């Protein structure tokens, strides 16, 4: 048997949410290289257009849709349109997400709810929209983009950690509820990735020195560096392909070893 064929996504339709850039773009690019037809969404037309142009420049014929993952009607409409225009979704990556870095006692309930809505309710809404057709088709892959904060807390990210911890358990619950319908639902827990979301943590200081958090993360990562969005592509491809049909409810940490490391001792 040609084991490499089990990593092929030929003939598959993959929806990656919030994939105009960043981690979603890195994952979608890897899926395209493995033969998948890429569809993605963003909340702003201008970003969908920007994303389409970027994919085109990379030789990827992706199709973008304007859709807010927290809007159940809009998500159901988008999934229906994708099924009519491209085909039934075989692979869903719940990637769209935000973070608000605010000390918990200074965060309003509305701000907390907004993070939970996008980072946890969104994956619930989109998964619920695609599962029925996956069941009809007899297979499906769902990949939830979790986080270090699915396992660890840190100051100022209470809402995000609560959402990503919940997303870890939603992943396991979809596995439990739909595993017998040949749907595999797994998570990817990226470490610290150089994207717009983490740009504030890497900004140079006024005196030209590195951001303290930048130095902190490099001391906590065995490889001593931030990871690149493209480094998530192959692990995601594994979870999106037949190569992982016996893997379900698993969170694959792609973190350069952060979770295994106490951190470099100060010299
Ligand atoms: P990013 O650069 O901020 O990109 C997030 C994407 O999600 C953007 O395209 C954004 O669109 C979209 N989005 C936000 N809210 C949305 C909504 N309501 N509906 C649809 N799309 C929405 O983030 P990233 O660093 O690539 O992160 C992607 C995912 O990985 C997130 O779930 C994040 O929590 C997770 N993650 C990131 C890291 C990291 O170190 N970067 C590590 C672990 C996990 P707009 O531009 O229009 O807002
Ligand atoms: C932060 C970062 C992290 C990363 C990621 C780590 O403020 O600590 O934004 O939350 O985004 O989730 O896995």
Q: What is the pLDDT of residues 229-266, one digit of tens each?
A: 999 999 999 999 999 999 999 999 999 999 999 999 88
- pTM: predicted TM-score of the whole model, two decimal places: 0.98
Asked if 140 contacts 186 with a C-beta cutoff of 8 angstroms, the reply is no
Residue 42 to residue 16: CA distance in whole angstroms? 10
CA 122 to ligand 1 centroid distance, Å: 12
139 alpha carbon – ligand 2 mean position (Å): 32
Cα separation of 89 and 213, whole Å? Answer: 39
pLDDT band of 21, cuts 50, 70, 90 = very high
Cβ proximity of 230 and 26 under 8 Å: yes
| Separation between Cα atoms, residue 148 and residue 11, nearest integer Å | 33
* SS3 label, residue 240: helix
Q: Is 20 in the pocket of ligand 1 (CB under 6 A)?
A: yes
Give distance in angstroms: CA of 23 to centre of ligand 1: 7
Instruction: Summarize the confidence of residues 137-143 as an average pLDDT.
Output: 98
Which ligand minimizes its atom distance to the CA of 98?
1
Over residues 144-182, the pLDDT tens digits come to: 999 999 999 999 999 999 999 999 999 999 999 999 999
* Interatomic CA distance for residues 18 and 42, integer angstroms: 5
Q: Whose CA is nearest to atom 9 of ligand 1?
A: 18
Place of tokens 């201008």: 46
Interval 77-94: pLDDT, tens:
999 999 999 999 999 999
CA distances from 177 to 172, 173, 181, 188 (A): 9, 6, 9, 19
């Amino acid at each position: 048997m040609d084991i490499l064929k089990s990593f092929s996504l030929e003939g598959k339709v993959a929806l990656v949410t919030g994939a105009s850039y960043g981690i979603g773009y890195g994952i979608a690019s890897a899926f395209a290289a493995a033969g998948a037809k890429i569809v993605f969404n963003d909340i702003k037309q201008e970003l969908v257009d920007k994303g389409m142009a970027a994919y085109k420049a990379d030789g990827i014929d992706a199709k973008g849709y304007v859709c807010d993952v927290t809007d159940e009607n809009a998500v159901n409409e988008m999934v229906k349109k994708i099924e009519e225009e491209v085909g039934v979704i075989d692979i869903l990556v719940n990637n769209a997400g935000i973070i608000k870095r605010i000390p918990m006692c200074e965060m309003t309930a509305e701000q907390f709810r907004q993070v939970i809505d996008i980072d946890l309710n969104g994956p619930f809404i989109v998964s619920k929209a695609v599962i029925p057709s996956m069941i009809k088709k007899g297979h499906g892959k769902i990949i939830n983009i979790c986080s270090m904060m699915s396992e660890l807390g840190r100051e100022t990210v209470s809402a995000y950690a609560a959402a990503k911890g919940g997303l870890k358990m939603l992943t396991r619950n979809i596995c439990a509820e739909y595993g017998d319908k040949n749907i595999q639902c797994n998570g990817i827990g990226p470490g610290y990735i150089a994207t717009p979301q983490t740009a504030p943590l890497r900004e140079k200081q006024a005196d030209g020195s590195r951001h303290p958090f930048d130095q902190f993360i490099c001391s906590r990562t065995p490889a001593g560096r931030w990871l690149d969005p493209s480094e998530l592509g192959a692990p995601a491809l594994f979870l999106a392909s037949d190569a992982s049909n016996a893997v379900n409810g698993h969170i694959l940490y792609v973190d350069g070893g952060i979770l295994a490391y106490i951190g470099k001792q100060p010299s």
